[in-house]
Structure 1
């Protein structure tokens, strides 16, 4: 689906009209292309007094070929940066928050278009005192506000890094830093990401971080699922693409395109989990990554909704995930180091009129992450979810014009996202190098005003 308004504002006449009338101004976002440098310019790396993360971050970025600049040396007022990265882990009380102002205030206009802001801190629950926890929680307000203020496609994220184990080492941090700094995170902003103490395995080649991995993608025939299959295959995965028999032709086309295999299966069938497990066991012996993307909508207001609409949405969007997880885990088909990624929605966070069934199912996915991720962590398996906002698909193309335009513009990017934006985020969570990232729900919504 084409966003004609976003295309128009990139023209000369469009630029003039936007400035004159104060209309929404969708920036041209920097998205990932294989072979791109991690960032298109130097990165300013700062730290609070006593910060524990600047050193490992510096090692990661230097090894990735990034030009680092020390704030003390940033005296040229015309200098421009691809990213501002700040280690706030040393801030132990509210008075220390002034250090954030001192770092960001002089550089607020120094970011290149589609620049990146990353603030690193300590999870408040791990802080040594209430005052330290208060100061670390305050970082969320800073990053979310920066994401709304800086404009021009700039994204801002907060990364809480646990003190436990080796989570502060370069290996544990690298996948998250690479994702957030790159064009892969073009439509992800205002997010809080937690890096824990799980095992992370760096790839031999960061251009193919899924080499040797078997990845199952449900709902792979079209839209986000098809984009997922392409991104995961591009990153080196062997893709098992699954969808319902009615979508068989489209599914086969996607599987052939990415050099994967197609599985036609109705996930609501009583024997579906067993049949899927047997297929994976016989063909691959395991599945390293399970991506629960399959989902449906059956919209009606609750008072007008029949029971079948309610039951079918809950069954496909939530219960089928639980059943599949149970069988695959029971049969040890997801090995230690495996990853599960589920697709939720901002409807599950903010609710949506006419979608009580859908919002319930997607909130349930978030509950699944909250409740199951601690259990799976003991088995060395990570579990995360992504929550897309307004994404340009055939489903959103059916939304009435005015509601559709509101969905596109009511976010910090003033535009809808693309299926590839969701796919890139799931790709990052699927990397073996992201094993220390678990229990997260990452919104892919351009920092939507809904639920913010």
Structure 2
């Protein structure tokens, strides 16, 4: 899977993903997804199993779906919200209370709803169950929220280790457990967890981050057989170097090295990650479960 692209920031297109995985990977929207295998399984979601003749608008494949996106106020999360809304979904946007104003603006722009919650708060899983049940259940969840607190392992205080693990991994597990126990996900629901190339290959000075993102992949692999038995699916995306506010703060030399450590010799954009997630949430990815899709321009790391 490979496609050419320019360094210019890609724009959202009006047309939705094509109907088959092969067509999707031949689309410009998968331009930053390259050099890997995606396996299709016979264990399909309830929606696909019930028949191919179910009404489906190919221009808006997520029409009528309600989906939660965490870390939704900026960067990759904001791009995910915009992309899912473009594809017809009603989006429930979640971020920390400190990001309230930005979150409200994002939700208002797509006519979604906003939840100002800290995912590490012990009461948040129950609050999300209540919100999901009020919506009649959710059709999709995108666990995008994440943080970095970089130090070499020898110099890392315990609170930096614990905070990264709790936000990036622990909260995802707690939320999934609560939603599954309460049966707050609809039949055919799909879940996407945002991991990282660091979770596959590690990264100097990011032991806590790499550990947490590797754990996300383990969580996906563990939950995949459980969810598919209920007609659902869960997958992960592993972004490489993506041009965001967070990576803009990295020193220039390191930033440029990150851009060049892949076959395309450039960084990706938040929309590259968002497009892959939108496909994984759509009916055309019904045969994809327990997979990790690298959105990294065929990075040398984790290949």
Coarse TM-score class (shorter-chain normalised): over 0.9
Q: What is the total number of aligned residue pairs between the two structures?
A: 291
Gaps of 5+ in 2: none
Q: Aligned residue for 1:28?
A: 6
- 1:189 corresponds to 2:34: yes
Q: Aligned residue for 1:382?
A: 233
Question: Where does 1:81-100 land on structure 2 (aligned, <5 Å)?
Answer: none
- 1:338 corresponds to 2:183: no
8 Å contact from structure 1 (residues 175, 433) kept in 2? yes
CA RMSD of aligned residues (A): 1.7
Q: For 2:287, which of 436, 441, 447 is the aligned residue?
A: 436
Please give the alpha-carbon distance, in whole angstroms, between the structure 2 residues aligned to 1:321 and 1:432. 23
Please give the alpha-carbon distance, in whole angstroms, between the structure 2 residues aligned to 1:275 and 1:213. 20
Q: Aligned residue for 2:200?
A: 349
- 1:231 corresponds to 2:83: yes
- 1:268 corresponds to 2:268: no
Change beyond 3 A, Cα 1:32–1:275:
closer
Q: CA deviation at 1:32?
A: 5.8
Secondary structure of the structure 1 residue equivalent to 2:138: coil
Q: For 1:414, which of 240, 248, 265 is the aligned residue?
A: 265
Q: CA deviation at 1:175?
A: 3.4
Q: Kindly provide the CA deviation profile for residues 362-421 of structure 1, in whole angstroms up to 9, marking residues without a partner as x.
A: 000110111110111111110000000000001111111111111101111111000000
Please give the alpha-carbon distance, in whole angstroms, between the structure 1 residues aligned to 2:299 and 2:115. 35
Question: Where does 1:279-428 land on structure 2 (aligned, <5 Å)?
Answer: 279-282=131-134, 284-428=135-279
Which ranges of 4 or more aligned residues in structure 1 deviate by more than 4 Å? 29-32
Q: Kindly provide the CA deviation profile for residues 330-379 of structure 1, in whole angstroms up to 9, marking residues without a partner as x.
A: 11111221101000000001100111000000000110111110111111
Higher relative contact order (CA 8 A, sep 6+): 2
Please give the alpha-carbon distance, in whole angstroms, between the structure 2 residues aligned to 1:382 and 1:31. 29
Change beyond 3 A, Cα 1:254–1:32:
closer
Secondary structure of the structure 1 residue equivalent to 2:148: coil
Q: Aligned residue for 1:446?
A: 297
- 1:209 corresponds to 2:51: no
Q: Kindly provide the CA deviation profile for residues 272-299 of structure 1, in whole angstroms up to 9, marking residues without a partner as x.
A: 10011112212x1100000000001111
Secondary structure of the structure 1 residue equivalent to 2:186: coil
Please give the alpha-carbon distance, in whole angstroms, between the structure 2 residues aligned to 1:252 and 1:358. 28
Gaps of 5+ in 1: 1-25, 39-63, 65-173
Q: Aligned residue for 2:108?
A: 256
Please give the alpha-carbon distance, in whole angstroms, between the structure 2 residues aligned to 1:274 and 1:35. 37
8 Å contact from structure 2 (residues 151, 205) kept in 1? yes
Q: For 1:246, which of 95, 98, 113 is the aligned residue?
A: 98
Please give the alpha-carbon distance, in whole angstroms, between the structure 2 residues aligned to 1:321 and 1:289. 14
8 Å contact from structure 1 (residues 32, 183) kept in 2? no
Secondary structure of the structure 2 residue equivalent to 1:195: coil
Structure 2 length-normalised TM: 0.92
8 Å contact from structure 1 (residues 338, 432) kept in 2? no
Please give the alpha-carbon distance, in whole angstroms, between the structure 1 residues aligned to 2:115 and 2:108. 12
Please give the alpha-carbon distance, in whole angstroms, between the structure 2 residues aligned to 1:301 and 1:427. 35
Please give the alpha-carbon distance, in whole angstroms, between the structure 2 residues aligned to 1:269 and 1:31. 36
8 Å contact from structure 1 (residues 337, 432) kept in 2? no
Please give the alpha-carbon distance, in whole angstroms, between the structure 1 residues aligned to 2:237 and 2:161. 23
8 Å contact from structure 1 (residues 208, 235) kept in 2? yes
